[in-house]
Amino acid sequence: MTHTNPKSHKGNENWFASGLIHSFFSALCETQTPNLESLMPKVKVSADWTPNPNAMKFTCSVQVAEKPLNFADANEATGDELAESIFAVMGVASVFMVNDFISVNKIPQADWDDMVARITNAIVENLGQS
C-alpha cells in the first residue's frame, strides 16, 4: 500500500493556483486596452443662461465658425451638419454661431431641461469629428 505525503499535494495545488493566476494576469496584460483619451470627448461645451429665457449660449472649447452664421429655421440650416443636428432637437427655433459659441433660441413652449443635454451632445458629436 502506497501512501502519498499530503504536503506534496499541497505544493502541487499552490503551483497550479499560482500558474492560473500568472496565466490570467498575462492574458489580461496582453489584451488591448482602449486609449482613455480616445474615450473622452475632445470638445468641451458649457451651456449658459442669457437674459432672454428663450435663448441659451453654448460655449465650446474649439472654434465653431470663423464668420457669423445665422439660421432662422431648419430649412436655412440645410447643408450645415452642425446646425442640422441642433435643429434635430425638438423645440429649437433658431441657431446663431460665431467664434467659439452657439446661441440657440427655443420656441416658448419648449423646456430647456429637455433640450440642453441633447443640444450639447449634438455639438460634441459634430465638432468631435473634425
pLDDT tens for each residue of the chain, 130 residues long: 444 444 544 555 555 555 555 555 555 555 555 555 555 547 899 999 999 999 999 999 999 999 999 999 999 999 999 999 999 999 999 999 999 999 999 999 999 999 999 999 999 999 986 5
> How many structural domains is the chain composed of?
2
Residue 121's domain comprises 37-127
Do 60 and 19 share a structural domain?
no
Same domain, 50 and 21: no
**What pLDDT shows up at residue 128?**
82
Residues 41 and 28 both lie in one domain:
no
> Is there a domain that residue 55 lies in?
yes
Are 96 and 120 in the same domain?
yes
Q: What is the CATH number of the domain that holds 100?
A: 3.30.1370.70
Residues 104 and 41 occupy one common structural domain = yes
Evaluate whether 64 touches 97 at the Cβ level (below 8 Å): yes
1 in a structural domain: no
Both 101 and 120 in one domain: the answer is: yes
Answer yes or no: is 72 within a domain: yes
Same-domain check for residues 59 and 121: yes
pTM: 0.68
